[in-house]
Structure 1
Amino acid sequence: MTQQDLTDYASEGGDSSSSRYIPDTCIGFDVTADFAHFRKVGNNSAKPSYRIPPRTTVAGLLAGILGMPRDSYYDLFSPARSAIAIVPKGLPHTYTMGITTVNTKADDAIQYLPQEKHYTKSAEMLTPESYVKYDRQRDTYEMLVDPEYRVYVALSDQNSYNELRERLETSRYHYSPALGLSECIADIRNVEIHTVGPGIEDAVDSAAYDDSEVVPKPGVTIKRERAPLYMESTDGGRRTTEFGNITYAAGDDRLPVDESRTHTVGEHQVAFY
């Protein structure tokens, strides 16, 4: 795999966009689940979902398959070291679901145990006093029903790329893949290796994470959803370094884009990010 300098069409003012990694080959696979939820930023009580998984969500999914610790994989999935494209195989419809949640943060959850009891005393542990200290919270989630996506991914780190390929091909995941919420266990199939070629059309089957490349056309309905693109680790956890618009065409239309940013992968025309 090689890296090409793409500064000639980089977005102005975005450091992470100044050089993007474009591979010679990539891994393609289908991922689906009964339900999915990709929580939109800026919402707390009611929890709407993105229709297309944000790039950060896809990076987290792949890092979990590799078994990488939380907040440790942002460099590996930076725009200069990775390429990702998401093709929605039909936009899923949604269902509003009430879900009761409880705090499972380690420092807080340990307080559910009576301090005077040993952790092995399960009968004593599950007393009302031990688990009602923190209230349950019932939230409204917008769930995607029967979502299915074709994911194309490449990494410049050859060892990580080879390990990801092997784990996907053999279904040997370190952490079970999920689409957003951990309860939305995903099924991965049709793992293939594709050659990446130059684009031959001015429309793509994939979503775009940078709407500056989108060229609107009459009669094509385009939707946008603001989402984080890239992150970096900090002493306190992580922070978003760049936001972008998840842009996709509604219905059976394809997303019209600048042809110079398109690539041919398998049976699809895609835009890598």
Structure 2
Amino acid sequence: MIGAEISLSLIGSAIVLLLLSLGYWQWRKKYHQSIMNLGSPSKRQGSWWYKNRYTPSLPLASPYSGKLVQPKIFATEHLRDTSTNSTHALDEAFPYQRREKFFSPTELTLLQALEKVFQPYPYRVFSKVCLTELLDPSTELSSDERRIALERLRRERLDFVICHIGTGAIVGIITLDEESKREQLDLQLHERFVDIALLAVGIPSIHITAKPDYQTTVLRQTLQESLKLPLLVSVAKISTIIGTCPKCGQPLKRVKVTKGKLAGRQLRVCSHYPRCKTLLPENSV
């Protein structure tokens, strides 16, 4: 009786292991099929060695974090028949659709208003810029910490970036406050992170509430006060700018020193002095 009970127990254990193994391989099969469903090696025609030249196996970890990240599109190789120029083949290989417009109506309205404000001045507006274009992780971080910090920056996008066209210097950031963003806590947290990061590195920023229309004079005054841009200077004066500051990108003005060791000399001084204390000799480029 004891031997029979042991045999039944072993048989039961074997059946359970068999069922678990079958379940695992079924899951594994579906998993690989989900990765390879976009023009994959399993669908190729030809000899077995050709169909299996490539493997759908992917790295078990993202290079930026320790999580398992295996997007479908990473397993996609080349189109199976590029000579046919088939739209159907493209749809299978790249599961995307085109957006009709780059800007939302509120973004376009503010952009047009900013273009009017900056038209006579040496500034240009760039939109939807990734935060990694402005910031880099600290060199004091370890390699793992740098990867995590860089991944955090990659998640953030800036609505509008203002640059000086003469030097390429970043002079300010504009965030568009839309009604839809105020109701989403995750977007608020993202914007809070961006604000703190910009403040930490000394890049001025401002939030502008979305409106159906903007008054150019009011918007110019707001940018002048918040970003410290010389937007109230006349166009005639702008045309006589003698250069741009290599540190902050603001216009340089010519002054004659009356006191001190440099008395009697003419220098180029940043228009943001004393906030920016750049001093250049008159004959500098």
Which structure ranks higher in relative contact order (CA pairs < 8 Å, sequence separation ≥ 6)?
1
More strand by share: 1
Q: Under TM normalisation by the shorter chain, which class is it?
A: under 0.3
Looking at CA atoms only, which structure, 1 or 2, has the larger radius of gyration?
2
Per the normalisation by structure 2, the TM-score is 0.22
Considering fraction of residues, name the structure with more helix.
Answer: 2
Q: With the length of structure 1 as denominator, give the TM-score of the two structures.
A: 0.23
